[in-house]
Amino acid sequence: MFSKSRLTYWPFALPARPPMSDAASLAAAQSHYEMMCTRHTIRQFSDGAVPRAVIEACIATAGRAPSGANHQPWHFAAITDPAMKKQIRQAAEEKERNFYGGAAGDEWLKALEPIGTGPDKPHLAIAPWLIVVFAQRWGEFDTGQRYKNYYVPESVGLASGFLVTALHLSGLSCLIHTPNPMGFLNVLLDRAASEKPTMIIAAGHSADGATIPEAATIKKPLSEILTVRD
């Protein structure tokens, strides 16, 4: 919670980081790239337990993401309770049946065909953890006065990317799920009206024999995603 007494700018020394040579910097960047090349979304999870401390460390990493005015407009609800996961699955599948039943439109459904998705979401109950990401549209000072948050979608998107990366570097796999609408998550998880659920991240270890769609291995080459002016 922000305090109105801490809204004055004070310069603070940048925490020390060991310097890196150009060669070391490139090696580190390439190593990280190669690690992230092994990241894939999965839908077949093991029900094997993942320690709470691992999930907490990953979410703590997400909390280090940059945000508009440093308001950190996010909240993460981590669920491992089987009964709660079952409720989330049931509610999500109800939305998905409507989506795949025609609400999505033919073009969207055609785009999803190579991914192999459908209305059944067993991973929501099987994965040991579900992490629901909430975007906070406004916050409150310690006095109870409301304040506006800025660049909320961008900030929450950055934090979510930090989280997905942290999960992968911890040896876990994940699936990002976005049933529409998601207001049921506010009710089930008792979150405030100021918070908008943006995604459910199923996290855990992949099941033996887990597969990914071939289409998911096709990524745009660097030449298509990068423009350099030098």
In this predicted model, what pLDDT tens digit does every residue of 169-226 receive, in sequence order? Answer: 999 999 999 999 999 999 999 999 999 999 999 999 999 999 999 999 999 999 999 9
What's the predicted TM-score (pTM) here? Answer: 0.95
Q: Which CATH class is domain 45-207?
A: alpha beta
In this prediction, residues 9-22 reach a mean pLDDT of 93
Cis peptide bond prior to 181, omega within 30° of 0? yes
Residue type, 78: A
- Write the DSSP symbol of residue 101: I
Q: How confident is the model at residue 2 (pLDDT cuts 50, 70, 90)?
A: low
- Write the DSSP symbol of residue 216: G
Cα distances (Å, whole numbers) of residue 152 to 11, 73, 84: 25, 6, 27
- Domain spans, the chain: 45-207
In this predicted model, what pLDDT tens digit does every residue of 128-168 receive, in sequence order? Answer: 999 999 999 999 888 888 999 999 999 999 999 999 999 99
Q: Residue-wise over 68-104: b if at least 16 C-beta within 10 A, else e?
A: beebbbbbbbebbeeeebebbbebbbebbeebbeeeb
